Amino acid sequence: MKKTLFMLLAGVCLAGQPLMAQQPPKAYTADNGDGTFKNPFLWGDWPDPDVIRVGEYFYFVSTSMHYVPGSPILRSKDLVNWEMAGYALDRYNDDPKFDMQGGTMYLNGSWANTIRHHNGNFYVGFCTPDGWGADSGRFSMCVAKDVKGPWKRTIFPQYLYDPGLFFDDNGRVYVVHGSGTLYLTELNADALSVKQPFDTIPIWRGRIRRPEGSTAPYPAYGMEGSHMYKINGYYYITNPAGGTEGWQVCLRSKNITGPYESKVIYQDESSYPNNGLHQGGMVQLQNGDWWFIIMQDRGPIGRVPHLLPVNWVDGWPILGENGKGYASGKKPDLGKNFPVVVPATSDEFNHVKLGLQWQWNHNPDNSKWSLKERKGHLRLKASFAEDLKTARNTLTQRVQGPASEGIAEIDASGLKPGNVAGFGIFEFPYAYIAIRKEAGSNTLIMVNDGKVIDSIPQFAPSKIWIKAHATDQQFLATFSYSINGRDFQQFGNTLKMDLGLVWTANRFALFNFSTTKEGVDGYMDVNWFHFTGENPAPARP
């Protein structure tokens, strides 16, 4: 029944068109279906990538900041087609503010993840700054036999910023870290503590000059985002420089403590002027080839990953086509083809566990949501909050480019006075359509950046379909609703998506909060969430 309704809804995305007049757009995929692929290989927010290969699978970890579960891990057999594999962190127990008790932890959580596999274990490390640009915080190491978990997290007393974990072939373990000045810190053999006495060695000081032709505003930059490798007797450290307009640098030395020489290995802004590709990691295929996953900032849609071949020139890993470009090309040579796969998006809520595509804004209150109380539905119970920014149990997944659309079927018959329950797009600013429960009646509201833009008092239907559509064209999002699941009415105004001060991309968001304490435990049931995205014509090499 849910699938049938989804097909009907997809046929009415354009006003005035008959049902099933056009097929729903396919989800974005980088696989062109002919042995080639296009970049970005994921058109969504997967920042600060690091990648490894274990057997036949590649694993890719990303930053997630305050979203829970944290440190998302994807897997692939060909570096082009990816699916969610798990998360390295179930929740944050560091501070009550992760539970939105006494404040919030926006800009906190999981930053600049590093992933490695050693002696049968997966290791994911990340830093948690005390705030944006902070020079203090925590470093965490998560360890598991399987990426699906269970994972065990160890929090270090030392702060290792933008960490790159490295297992040397002599049995010693290190983290290279820092911003501007790069440091090397040795860990104990289990990688769960710093080797004593604590001796952090500076291995790189100084700034990298802006390459010719770059739009970056300053003449020279420090580096961060380190990942370390040992190849043919050299220690290599890859680093970004230049921020959003940036480029990728590589350091190398015969000695792990240096001295290191440097080289710009990629500098190109042509695929999304004026934003350069910067920060990521490289991995070796079974046939010996090397490839590099590197991100590009595409504003409110997110920091999207690109896949570039590595060509070794005079012992340096030069990315793309002589350090430039690579909009498309042949897929990595794995000896056979693999089916097209994309990370999950749509959800019928028919399972007892939440799909891996979903993350909560901060730690959830697990007593306030359920996939069991009403079969085939997600139930969100209200908690007291002044607005969406401080609401517990806001459930999110990535908005995607170049355009994407989410539709949710919502039953609001379980709301209590004071509840605000609905669906929209979350960041700072945010916007949504919701039913606001009042004594004796409901009001349908459209809210943009905390302000009620439009409303319909005495709104009788308790079942409603809410749609949000987002595009990278000027980063605009629009909202509409239906009372019959077929005919959608535009409502409110347009959201100009932004990054605010949070630095995570915009997300589709389901929520239910109460502005009165009397309304707690009122509930909203979500029958399904359906996602559609654009898949542009393939770029050809």
Catalytic residues: 48, 224
Q: Positive or negative CA dihedral for 46, 52, 55, 56?
A: positive
Question: What is the H or E stretch that residue 10 is in?
Answer: helix 2-10
Q: How far apart are CA 203 and CA 4, in angstroms?
A: 60
Amino acid at 204: W
Distance of CA 447 to the CA centre of its chain: 25
CB under 8 Å to 531, separation ≥6 — which residues?
Answer: 27, 345, 346, 397, 404, 405, 406, 508
Asked whether the bond before 402 is cis by omega within 30 degrees of 0, the reply is yes
| Residue ranges with strand state E in 77-179 | 82-89, 111-118, 121-129, 137-144, 152-156, 164-167, 173-177
Residue 440: exposed, middle, or buried by beta-carbon count in 10 A (0-12, 13-18, 19+)?
exposed
Residue 115: exposed, middle, or buried by beta-carbon count in 10 A (0-12, 13-18, 19+)?
buried
SS3 299: helix
SS3 370: strand
Q: Is 350 left (phi over 0), alpha (psi -120 to 50) or beta?
A: alpha
Q: How far apart are the first and last CA of the chain?
A: 42
Q: How far apart are CA 136 and CA 538, in angstroms?
A: 45
Q: How far apart are CA 86 and CA 240, in angstroms?
A: 27
